[in-house]
A and B are shown apart, each in its own frame.
Chain A
Amino acid sequence: MLATERESLRHEVAELAEKYEHKRDGMMPILEAIQEKYRCVSDFAMQEIARQLGVFPTEVYGVASFYSFLSTEPRGKFAIRLCRTLSCDFAGKKEVARQLENELEIKFGETTPDGLFSLEYCNCLGMCDHGPALLVNNDVYTEVSPELVSEILDKYRRMFGPASQLEEKEAHHG
């Protein structure tokens, strides 16, 4: 990590910690804010959080490694989470899962090389009556079918990279 990146991260963590009066109960909100911005909680971030909250870095690591929505390794810009609970399973999640892997060319648990998408399962999104359900960051999609998968992904692809890239791809695959 560049020295300038460290400095700005240090400032950010300090500001966040200030908001929570440097108390340990600020741990989760701070971790979530860092995860949101940087797509992971890096070793340096964990160390700074520890410093600001008066705990050991290992304790921050213990907390960060516990929760599914926090990671010490970078996740994709868009984290795709497919619900694998029974009702969504009954509604056809396996097929959706397959198609996601096809579209993204990665397996569940991985992140695309361009860092745009990461793919994982999650447990019950609370959309059991409209399954299969999936989350992309904070956006919920219900009644997802394999056909809808590429539509959903395109929406996010369009937010990144020039439209021409997308058109090129479409032309190539006809």
Chain B
Amino acid sequence: MASVVHIMERYEAGSGLKKALSMARTEVIRTVRESGIRGRGGAGFPTAVKWNLCAAAQSPKKFIVCNADEGEPGTFKDRLLLTERPEALLDGITIGGYAIGARLGVIYLRAEYAYMRPGLEAALAARRTNKLLGKKVLGKDFEFDIEIRMGAGAYVCGEETALIESLEGSRGEPRNRPPYPVNTGLVGVPTAVNNVETLIACAHILVKGPEWFRKFGTDVSTGSKLLSVSGDCKRPGVYEVGFGISIKDLLKLVEGEDAKAVQVGGASGRTVPAKQFGRKLGFEDLATGGSIIVIGKDRDMLDVAENFLDFFVEESCGQCTPCREGNPKLLEGVHLLKQGRCSINYLRELQNLGRTMQAASKCGLGQSSANAFLDITEHFRSEILGRVPATKE
């Protein structure tokens, strides 16, 4: 399998928007539904369903939010999209706003990407001049504008309700769900939060039609996916592939075939050992927001686990018990394993704890922070047990 150029295709500003505004809102949503597109940020919620719920909610005020808080370790595809394809994104946000009945779109841009802001603001200013934003977009009876709000260094704000909390001026602590943002979102009104890639894909779908999108991918995971590949491979970078590609084939593409493991989906994803490289990327099996980290033969899997758990210990919002207290415990367990001082019983306890964290945490962060630990302690037993450290304890 090779890489494709699909949503990374060049995009003419306003092309998708023009098409969308010539349709009824319901038609726009239907077009997106027929494409089968699911959220590209990692969660994979069907975009058309989200837009539909939002459109159906009764409220004079609504918002569409572009989640540009790309914080998942190993993900840099939005970085590329924001710098190279801003017009497609801005069209996508406007199309989404039209579909759900919003008058304002917000781009939540992570603080680490502040250097992109001037470019985006310039693009917005140009749009306002060219009537792609404003009181009568493209001369139609549709008012829409887009505002940029910055994040401030919190991975958890990539979670949609934490993002909304941050926009409202609070700590980025995820909310109880239900109710969901499509009903009760930003300042309590219906809000659709979508990933950068999703919105760009939708813009293309409006231009070229849903069938075009279905050219790649599988029946369940339609379309292409941008992958950001890094780590121990000869050709790291952003790749666009059709869903359904196997890890083996991907590694061939990026020249990282002698990997020991691949981390699919970032720190909150799955650690796939070499013997499972036949598995395919997609919502059927290995879902990912795009992050692919290739782990070479000489890497210590406990270092990998430690790195990820360090990350979660720092980024957990701290609200709920399983995540706040559980992640440090798992990290402590990794330290014990590194020192060669972890009993099988205690390891089992930690694995059970990991499963509780997956089941009982309040948001996706806590629910997936134990994934890597569980995968590594399951697939790399021989490597992690019974170590004798070189230095004195």
Residues of A within 8 A of B (CB): 23-29, 31-32, 53, 55, 59, 62-63, 66-70, 81, 84-87, 89-90, 122-129, 131, 135, 138-140
Contacts and interface: CB of A to CB of B under 8 A. Distances in A.
Interface stretch (B53-61, B211-219, B225-233, B375-383): B225-233
A86 B167 contact: no
Contacts of A139: 115
Contacts of B304: 86
A126 B171 contact: no
Nearest to B308: A86
A84 to B, nearest CB: 7
Given A123-B155, A129-B237, 14 more contacts: A27-B170, A29-B149, A59-B170, A67-B152, A70-B153, A85-B311, A87-B231, A89-B303, A90-B299, A122-B112, A123-B73, A126-B75, A126-B112, A129-B238
30 contacts: A24-B168, A25-B169, A27-B170, A28-B152, A28-B166, A28-B167, A28-B169, A29-B150, A63-B169, A66-B154, A66-B171, A68-B111, A68-B152, A69-B151, A84-B307, A85-B307, A87-B293, A89-B303, A89-B307, A90-B299, A124-B74, A124-B75, A126-B70, A126-B75, A126-B78, A128-B74, A128-B75, A129-B76, A138-B115, A140-B115
Contact of A126 (B113, B154, B169, B303): B113
A74 B267 CA distance: 31
A63 to B, nearest CB: 6
B12 interface: no
Contacts of B152: 28, 31-32, 67-70
Given A87-B293, A129-B228, A68 B154 contact: yes
Nearest to A121: B314
Q: Which of B112, B150, B154, B307 has the most CB of A within 10 A?
A: B112
Given A53-B169, A63-B169, A32 B150 contact: yes
B163 to A, nearest CB: 11
Contacts of B228: 128-129
Interface string B280-316: 0000000000000100100100011001101100110
A33 to B, nearest CB: 10
B386 interface: no
A127 B83 CA distance: 13
A63 B170 contact: yes
B42 interface: no
A66 B314 CA distance: 11
Nearest to A67: B152
Q: Which of A59, A90, A127 has the most CB of B within 10 A?
A: A90
A31 B303 CA distance: 36
A88 to B, nearest CB: 9
Nearest to A65: B171
Nearest to B153: A68
Contact of A85 (B73, B229, B303): B73
Interface residues of B, number: 51
Contacts of A32: 111, 150, 152
B172 A66 contact: yes
Q: 4 closest pairs, A vs B, by CB?
A: A27-B169, A68-B153, A128-B230, A67-B152
A67 B310 CA distance: 17
Nearest to B263: A86
Nearest to A64: B152
Interface string B220-261: 000000001111100011100000000000000000000000
A124 B151 CA distance: 14
Contacts of A23: 169
A139 B168 CA distance: 28
A28 B74 contact: no
Interface in B88-128: 111-115
Contacts of A31: 152
Nearest to A20: B169
B72 interface: yes
Interface string B38-71: 0000000000000000000000000000000011
B187 interface: yes
B33 interface: no
Nearest to A30: B169
A138 B114 contact: yes
A47 B187 CA distance: 23
Contacts of A126: 70, 75-76, 78-79, 112-113
Given A85-B73, A87-B293, A122 B153 contact: yes
B154 A24 contact: no
A67 B237 CA distance: 29
Contacts of B314: 123
B153 A69 contact: yes
Q: Which of A69, A123, A127 has the most CB of B within 10 A?
A: A123
B150 A128 contact: no
Nearest to B228: A128
Contact of A25 (B114, B151, B168, B236): B168
A81 B70 CA distance: 17
